[in-house]
């Protein structure tokens, strides 16, 4: 049987979509520079799929990505785009790509962004996804761009709250991001030596256990009690009121919020995002489509998007058990 002809790519586009994360700029830079080195033209698409549908498309060269590797956020901007969820929106996006000569796109974002990429690929635009989210909640990969920076930012903030909690002999409930996933809470909980770590995957909503734990620690002379609460559980302020009433210990909630999404990316985020961005550029050059780049068991790999979206991921049980003991 004759081999299917591989589509030849001449021009690629790159966009960032969904929530921003530190390291996205390093990924953009690598996509641009590796694609140029591969002999392709590169266009930047602003504000995710919204910018694509509004034709906010710019030419990019090596200089366009100078001095961005250490910047948080994304120089291209990002957005959530309802129109892309519709069949007409996807067809329009593919037509716009063709009108601008874009044969392939690198989409940097989370699972939702991958779904958009999957649909574009069915419309004949070659797509490669890169895992850009601080939440670490993409099943096919052990690493996502921005997670490392976010946990370090949160860890430093929690250390500071801990100092004042200790001075005032307070209980502090510190809420960290992560949407429905508890990875940021688990990592910071362990790294900050929290007394309780509440993550949506495991929490049984038994507040009495926490109250008993605080009372017991107080009896043993503990000066503070740090509870790391994941965004997926939320309600930290009302939880603080109930805990204070039940324990008599002054209890304050601190919601770290968007600070966790910003800031200069760590070395790990810059390095991994750079390697992954380069891989995405190479996959497009090879004519691949409907793939995502991932990190699995220490290796950089790629998966079919359909396969990646069907994968499941859970908090590692051993790590969670250890977090409770420490």
- Identify whether 135 is a catalytic site residue: yes
From the CB of residue 275, how many other CB atoms can be counted at a distance below 10 Å?
A: 17
- Nearest approach in angstroms of CB 291 to ligand ATP is 16
Q: Quick check: 22 binds ligand ATP (CB under 6 A)?
A: no
- Nearest approach in angstroms of CB 49 to ligand ATP is 4
Instruction: Scan residues 116-135 and list those touching ligand ATP (CB under 6 A).
Output: 116, 119, 133, 135
Do residues 288 and 152 touch, judged by C-beta distance below 8 A? no
Residue 49 or 303: the one with the smaller Cβ distance to ligand ATP is 49
SS3 134: coil
Q: Quick check: 16 binds ligand ATP (CB under 6 A)?
A: no
Query: Which neighbouring-strand residues pair with 288?
Result: none
What would the two tokens of residue 156 be?
A: 């430093």
Residue 145 or 214: the one with the smaller Cβ distance to ligand ATP is 145
Element (H, E) at 94: helix 87-99
Q: Quick check: 18 binds ligand ATP (CB under 6 A)?
A: yes
Which listed residue (73, 109, 131, 178) binds ligand ATP by CB under 6 A?
Answer: 109
Strands 11-16 and 104-109 come out as parallel
Candidates 135, 148, 196, 302; catalytic one: 135
Instruction: Scan residues 86-105 and list those touching ligand ATP (CB under 6 A).
Output: none
SS3 244: helix
Which listed residue (32, 84, 102, 174) binds ligand ATP by CB under 6 A?
Answer: 84
Residue 12 or 24: the one with the smaller Cβ distance to ligand ATP is 24
Euclidean distance between CA atoms 184 and 198, whole angstroms = 11
- Nearest approach in angstroms of CB 115 to ligand ATP is 4
- Nearest approach in angstroms of CB 71 to ligand ATP is 18
Over its C-alpha atoms, the chain yields an Rg (Å, rounded) of 22
Residues contacting 79, CB < 8 A, separation 6+: 17, 47, 48, 49, 50, 51
Do residues 241 and 248 touch, judged by C-beta distance below 8 A? no
Distances (CA, A) of 107 to 35, 141, 295: 14, 16, 17
Euclidean distance between CA atoms 104 and 120, whole angstroms = 9
- Nearest approach in angstroms of CB 31 to ligand ATP is 17
Residue with nearest beta carbon to ligand ATP: 112
Instruction: Scan residues 52-81 and list those touching ligand ATP (CB under 6 A).
Output: 80-81
- Nearest approach in angstroms of CB 228 to ligand ATP is 20
Residue 93 or 214: the one with the smaller Cβ distance to ligand ATP is 93
Which listed residue (36, 68, 85, 211) binds ligand ATP by CB under 6 A?
Answer: 85
Which listed residue (17, 247, 289, 323) binds ligand ATP by CB under 6 A?
Answer: 17
> Strands of 251-255's sheet, edge to edge?
196-198, 225-230, 171-176, 251-255
Catalytic machinery residues = 135
């Amino acid at each position: 049987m004759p081999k299917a002809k591989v589509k030849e790519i001449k021009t690629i586009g790159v966009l960032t979509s969904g929530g921003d994360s530190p390291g996205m700029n390093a990924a953009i830079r690598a996509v641009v520079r590796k694609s140029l080195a591969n002999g392709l033209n590169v266009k930047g698409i602003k504000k995710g799929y919204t910018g694509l549908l509004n034709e906010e498309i710019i030419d990019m060269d090596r200089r366009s990505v100078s001095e961005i590797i250490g910047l948080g956020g994304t120089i291209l901007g990002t957005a959530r785009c309802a129109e892309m969820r519709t069949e007409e929106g996807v067809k329009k996006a593919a037509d716009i790509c063709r009108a601008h000569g874009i044969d392939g796109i690198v989409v940097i974002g989370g699972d939702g962004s991958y779904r958009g990429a999957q649909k574009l690929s069915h419309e004949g635009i070659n797509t490669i996804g890169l895992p850009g989210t601080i939440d670490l909640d993409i099943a096919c990969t052990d690493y996502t761009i921005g997670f490392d920076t976010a946990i370090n930012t949160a860890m430093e903030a929690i250390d500071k709250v801990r100092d004042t909690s200790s001075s005032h002999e307070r209980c502090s409930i510190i809420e960290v991001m992560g949407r429905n996933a508890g990875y940021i809470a688990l990592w910071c909980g362990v790294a900050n030596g929290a007394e309780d770590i509440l993550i949506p995957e495991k929490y049984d909503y038994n507040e009495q256990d926490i109250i008993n734990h605080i009372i017991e620690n107080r009896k043993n002379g503990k000066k503070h009690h740090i509870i790391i609460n994941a965004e997926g559980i939320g309600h930290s302020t009302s939880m603080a009121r109930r805990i204070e009433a039940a324990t008599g210990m002054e209890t304050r909630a601190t919601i770290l919020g968007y600070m966790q999404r910003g800031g200069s990316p760590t070395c790990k985020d810059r390095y991994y995002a750079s390697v992954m961005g380069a891989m995405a550029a190479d996959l497009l050059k090879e004519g691949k489509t409907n793939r995502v780049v991932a990190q699995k068991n220490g290796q950089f790999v790629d998966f079919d998007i359909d396969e990646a979206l069907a994968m499941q991921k859970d908090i590692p049980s051993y790590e969670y058990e250890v977090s409770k003991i420490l």
